[in-house]
Chains A and B, each alone.
Chain A
Amino acid sequence: MSGAFILAWMVLLLPLVSTVLISCFTLKNDKLSARISIGAVLAGFVMSLLIFLSAREAGESNITWISIGNFQATLGVKLDNLSALMLLIVTGVGSLIHWYSQGYMKGDRSYSRYFACLSLFTFSMLGIVLASNFMQMFIFWELVGVSSYLLIGFWYERPAAADASKKAFLTNRIGDFGFILGIIMVWAATGSLNFAELKGVFEANPEILGATAGIVGVLLFCGAVGKSAQFPLHVWLPDAMEGPTPVSALIHAATMVAAGVFMLCRIFFLLSPDALQVIAWTGGITALMAAVIALQQNDIKRILAYSTLSQLGYMVMAVGVHAPGAAMFHLTTHAFFKAMLFLGAGSVIHALHHEQDIWKMGGLKEKMPATYKTFLIGTLALCGVPPLSGFFSKDGILAAAADFRHHGNVFLFAIGVLAAVLTTLYMARLVLVAFHGKHRSEAADHSHESPSVMTGPLWILVIPTLFAGFLPIESAVNHVAGLNHAGDHTQAPLAMAFSVLALLIGGSVAWSLYSKAESDPIANRLHGLSTALKNRLYFDEIFNGLIYVTHEAVSKLAEWIDRILLSSFIVKGLSNVVDVFGRGLRLFQTGSIHTYAFLFVVGIALVMFFVMGGVL
């Protein structure tokens, strides 16, 4: 095992060690717990950096966990450009957020538990990133679900948080169900779960899945729909904002929700063209829908949450138009600036004593200069202002969608541009309302800048936000995914022109509407639509209704089957029969030694009779 693999194993296992140490020994010692947790992830970051910079060759190191017959369950670490990049994002952003959490969570009575959960999450996420096979990926996939459940519901005494955590977990499970079905189908068809082997199999015989290729692709995509919160399973992500803000930054902006996109890039080689069509449209719809909803949200974290949904839609759409490199590129830049935006929002919320309504903020520019500056840079990056990182990565996606000769599509491109306009609009609205103008509440008036433990990470995140756009991520990832026409989109003039145009339109509309606004001007003009948007297009209500109706019907049916069929006939009947047998057999067990000796001899006689008589 070469050095890089040893490092990778350590990166993976350190957070697990940290979780165990904190939960078993240091729950009472807050400071030590935080140090252990931060130490684990920081060490992981340093090692990830070494792995990233070392002249590593792609490969994997596996250990066999269970082998039954010819089925082998292995745990392994797989290193290539893709996983090395994700390692860096997860541990890098993770480190900053761990650090920031020290300030944000100060004084919480479950401080240690928070860091234990955070470490557990880091471990799970790294397990997905490094997974060398589907089975391991699925196990860690579920672990991410569990740790996210623990963190969203961290303040479990608040009903909203408890509900949100359940909602997130269950919604994810729906997607995961499809995911595991897809995995089983892949295994049934190829007999292997290892990514490298599968890739070999698919290169040798691209038609191996036959007619089921499309179905398998869509089923596997279900996993990403759940984790990366794509339409129609996106409903859990906005609610997940009930968790502590650093958690929102880490899990629901930079890492966990990226897992779906990462997974799609990892298995890109086995997605059929039909499946990719479904993926592209799902992504496009999510991008546009979420951007529309974000326009009329007033909670600062929810705006960011819908913005995350929209950007995830972009990434998924990029995978769908055969540009996994562009997807990973945007994932990377987005991880940095969105984490920064969330941490900035956290800083605001912290300063305003948990006030999250942007209409009750205002004028924070002077009170919180550091937060404002970093937030502004993040916003500009998100809107795609050149030459910030977001410009390049978003441009990559638009260019792929505009590549009509290959896999692009004019409608998807239009959706992408429209979503870009809306992105600028809602982000400018957020900045103008929350940071400019006058103080609209007492809390805003008395606010002051957050401590340096919180602003520090913000400033550090500015660096990648400014410069990550110059990294050659796109071609590196496309190479891993087996595509070679990489990187030539970025010069597409059409995409770039539209991208800048979108920026200008969105920006100017926002300025004219919100630069002096005291309340939302379009809310009155759009009445019905605005209410619908505020209510998130009634997705939750529709789902509730749908679930209620089907649930009632199914449960009525189940009750009938249970009561009439199972309970009366089968269970009672069977158990009575079994019981009678049990009691009947006891009659042989008289306790009398004569009987026993007699039965023993009868037994031998019977065996002989049957065997010699040729019956047995």
Chain B
Amino acid sequence: MNIAASILEIAVIGLGIAVMLADLWLPREKKIWLGYAAAAGLALILFGSFSMSGNPATLAFGDMYILDAFALFFKRFFLIAAILVMIVSIEYSPKFQTGKGEYFTLVLFALAGMMFSASANHFALLFVSMELMTITFYVLTSFLRNQLLSLEAGIKYLILGALSSGFLVYGIALVYGTTSTMDFATLREKSALMTDNPLLLVGLLMIIGGLGFKIAAFPFQFWAPDVYQGSPSSTTAFLAVGSKAAGFALLMRLLFVAVPEITLQWEKLLMVIAGITILYGNLCALPQRNLKRLLGYSSIANAGYLMMGIAAMSASGSTAILYYLYSYMFTVIAAFLIIILVMKHTGAEDIVHLAKLHERAPGLAGVMTLSMVSLAGIPPLAGFFGKFLLFEAVIEQATVQSSYYLLAAVAIVGVVISLYYYFGVIRTIYWGKQQMIPEDIQISPASKAALWVCSVVIIYLGIMPERLMQAATAAVESLKF
């Protein structure tokens, strides 16, 4: 057994246990320091991850666990996301009456689940890592124990999550039953010989359904808006960024490493899912007045854009996904952090609360504008370049199979629709009518730093995409296209 390969996850779990233990002794008013300590610890682990290399790939735990460039790329992604989410959580934590320390610990455990999922090379690890992440999220979503909405969100996520896990396990059982293997490498060989075995196909579709639930792709997305709206904002941010990315990491490895031959038959299915998800998310977002719900639908739409990269079934498509996830992470976390800062004391997160934000906090208004503009995909920001890469990947395929043009057209329609609601937010910020006495806004240094980082990265990735592109291209090489 090669435990050293999973040193990063072990470190994260160790950090989680340390935070949990420290929580026992720390007096109540100092619990917030646990969050800072966790963030600092994660930063150290992230730093340490740069001494590792996924080339050549290392296998561990009876080949269940693989550490390759792809896995390492995602692990770093999750670590960065978790650091930012930790800062968001600290900002949000005054709303938790009890259990701040637990919250920070659970974020770390969810992170460990995500990091394991990036390395899953076997259905057992795929399932276990997903459950580690999902079960932790059941708690995180219902963490505002005295708020009905949050409890409702938790229950919904729990029941629908359990349902999807049920399908996932069922699917895994069918795949195992037909191929008698759960190992991706073996499955790659065996599945190539049985591409028309109906039981295997049904099993795989169920697994895709289970993963589709995680990434909130149509038709498995119904939970997303309710859960996004009801959960604590810090959880929503992590759900939107981390959970979705983990779903994509698993989906990419499953489709392109484990069963590539079967995936090739499914280009239409993937295109249809991508197209409908884009339209569904964007159309539903139009009439929304609640900011978190709007971001919930926007996250569905973004799952659709990302699915385009999967549907392209090419190295460039996957590279685009990896790039897009980064741009999405920084914009969305910035947006959620601002929501928390501006709406600390209001119950509901209505867009109108942002009215005249530029007079109260011009900096926040600027960052929010930046992140909305980036989400809408306007150059020269990160979101634009991510979308550009996805479109490029799809159009590349269109030279072979012309129905890809249709997908690109649908996606463009989606982008145009999305302009309306993203700019609606900006319009409210600068020209909206203030309806209540504004709260004064205080920003902690950590949040300020996080916002700076997010804005700089949003601009940097739009102007100098080279570095991240190279990393993503190198990571995708381990998917063996």
Contacts and interface: CB of A to CB of B under 8 A. Distances in A.
**Is B truly associated with A?**
yes
B159 A597 contact: yes
Given A67-B466, A596-B222, A612-B198, A607 B287 contact: no
B269 A610 contact: yes
B164 interface: yes
Contacts of A611: 201, 205, 266, 269
Task: Classify chain A: how many residues form its interface, as a range.
Answer: 20 to 34
B226 A581 contact: no
A612 B269 contact: no
Contact of B268 (A68, A599, A616): A616
Interface in A575-605: 578-579, 581-583, 585-586, 588-589, 591, 593, 595-597, 599-604
B213 interface: yes
A600 B160 contact: yes
Contacts of A597: 159-160, 163
A69 B209 contact: no
A610 B265 CA distance: 13
B126 to A, nearest CB: 18
Given A593-B155, A600-B220, A610-B269, A581 B283 contact: yes
A596 B466 contact: no
Contacts of B222: 588-589, 595-596, 599-600
B290 to A, nearest CB: 12
A605 to B, nearest CB: 10
A202 B466 CA distance: 31
B63 interface: no
A590 B166 CA distance: 23
B195 to A, nearest CB: 13
Contacts of B220: 600, 603-604
B159 A593 contact: yes
Contact of B209 (A65, A579, A603, A616): A603
A602 B219 CA distance: 9
B432 interface: no
Nearest to A586: B284
A578 B283 contact: yes
Contact of A66 (B159, B208, B286, B466): B466
A606 interface: yes
Given A66-B465, A67-B466, A586-B287, A603 B272 contact: no
Interface string B308-333: 00000000000000000000000000
Interface in B73-118: none
Given A593-B155, A603-B219, A612-B202, A585 B283 contact: yes
B206 interface: yes
Interface residues of B, number: 38
Nearest to A615: B268
A600 B202 contact: no
B457 to A, nearest CB: 17
B127 interface: no
A137 B258 CA distance: 49
A579 B287 contact: yes
Nearest to B217: A603
B286 A607 contact: no
Contacts of B202: 608, 612
A593 B283 contact: no
Contact of A583 (B159, B206, B287): B287
A604 B223 contact: no
Contacts of B223: 596
B280 interface: yes
Given A589-B226, A589-B284, A607 B205 contact: yes
Contacts of A2: none
Contacts of A604: 167, 205-206, 209, 219-220
Nearest to B268: A616
B219 A607 contact: yes
- Most chain-A Cβ atoms within 10 A of its Cβ — which of B163, B222, B268, B465? B222
A64 interface: yes
B165 to A, nearest CB: 12
A599 B209 CA distance: 12
A218 B205 CA distance: 60
Interface in A535-585: 578-579, 581-583, 585
B156 interface: yes
B398 interface: no
- Most chain-A Cβ atoms within 10 A of its Cβ — which of B201, B266, B280, B286? B286
A367 to B, nearest CB: 54
B392 interface: yes
Given A589-B226, A608-B205, A600 B213 contact: yes
Nearest to A69: B392
5 contacts: A585-B284, A588-B222, A596-B160, A596-B223, A600-B160
Q: A-B pairs with the 7 shortest C-beta distances?
A: A603-B219, A582-B286, A616-B269, A596-B222, A616-B268, A604-B209, A582-B283
Interface of A: 64-69, 578-579, 581-583, 585-586, 588-589, 591, 593, 595-597, 599-604, 606-608, 610-612, 616
